[in-house]
Homo-oligomer: A and B are copies of this chain.
Amino acid sequence: MPKYTDLVASLPATVPFVGPETQERARGRAFAARLGANENVFGPSPLAIEAMAKAAGDTWMYGDPENHDLKQALAAHHGIGADHIVVGEGIDGLLGYLVRMIVEPGVKVVTSLGAYPTFNFHVAGYGGDLITVPYNGDHEDPIALIAKAAETGARLVYLANPDNPMGTVHSAQTLQQMIDAVPDGCLLVLDEAYLEFAPEGCAPPINPVDPKVIRMRTFSKAYGMAGARVGYAIGAMNLITAFNKIRNHFGMCRMSQAGALAALADQEYLQQTVAQVTAGRGRIAQIAAAQGLSVVPSATNFVAIDCGQGDAFATSVLQNLITKDIFVRMPFVAPQNRCIRVSVGRKADLDLLEAAFPGAFQAAKQAN
């Protein structure tokens, strides 16, 4: 057996999420509606699909390790310099690089209890000491996060705005106050994966020279390209340059680079998607309301349905849906795990949800 580092030897072989395909293989049956992974069923712009299909023939070439064209386009889109942007293999990949740069055994990191597990996976993977603060209601709590970071001397503090798994959002003003309050020696990881779904006024202005915050964006959500693995981060030049010390320079898929470039250029399609998602959120709320249930107001492409009781009851509803071939997930910890989390689907997906949900809910009620 090879001699692993002590840290790696101490880690469990784990996975932040079990994929739907894994569940399908275990069940021996495909899902009829795939609404569990916050994927965007409306998919990428047809222009992005066309660009990727065209690039398939160029796959013999490595992708540009500088991601030059995509960074230039992103820089123009955001009105900032390209040297404030690093492109990577999804936000997951970028979080891994960032944590590697800053976290080692003994380093404190603050996040919310029940927030994005893949961030926690990376922190554990580099030996960091993860400290959590509870949600405030259904919101991550910027004030408590900053206070905990200051109290513990954390080097990273993580917040997603909009939040996952609850879908709630803070205002730009609240976020700007949080950024301004980040303690010296600490960096705010502001995960804005779902931002394009949120209403105007939820993102503070991008100040690319601010050394207190790194902002993570992605083509996986509103741009509908989860399978392409394209994310980017915006930050101070020193921080962005530091990614070059460790990143997998030739790690980007060439087709994905082409697809992201085309997707970014089609903002009209993005707006159509956002409108469809907004409508879909309303329909999920109606499906819940028909059973007397409320939903957590969402600024994302998913909705947390409050099942009205605790973890066991929500789990029962979820499992009943899965039995009816509807793939959904739910939050991991209390009190959020009173909810199930349903991604917005196409009309046909939500028709299936509408047909399955009453029975799934009523069966859970009878069993509990």
Q: Chain A interface (Cβ within 8 Å of chain B)? A: 1-5, 7-8, 11-17, 19, 21-22, 25, 34, 37, 39-44, 48-49, 52-53, 55-66, 68, 89-90, 92-93, 96, 100-104, 107, 118, 125, 155, 185, 187, 211, 220, 224-229, 236, 238-239, 241-242, 244-246, 248-256, 259
Contacts and interface: CB of A to CB of B under 8 A. Distances in A.
Nearest to A227: B254
Given A4-B101, A125-B246, A155-B2, A22 B60 contact: no
A22 to B, nearest CB: 6
A359 to B, nearest CB: 26
A61 B39 contact: yes
A71 to B, nearest CB: 12
Contact of A59 (B2, B25, B66, B224): B224
Contact of A226 (B11, B56, B60): B60
B239 A2 contact: yes
Contact of A245 (B11, B43, B68, B239): B11
Q: Please state the number of chain copies in the assembly.
A: 2
Contacts of A48: 59
A228 B39 contact: no
A55 B2 CA distance: 38
A286 to B, nearest CB: 24
Contacts of A22: 64-66, 68
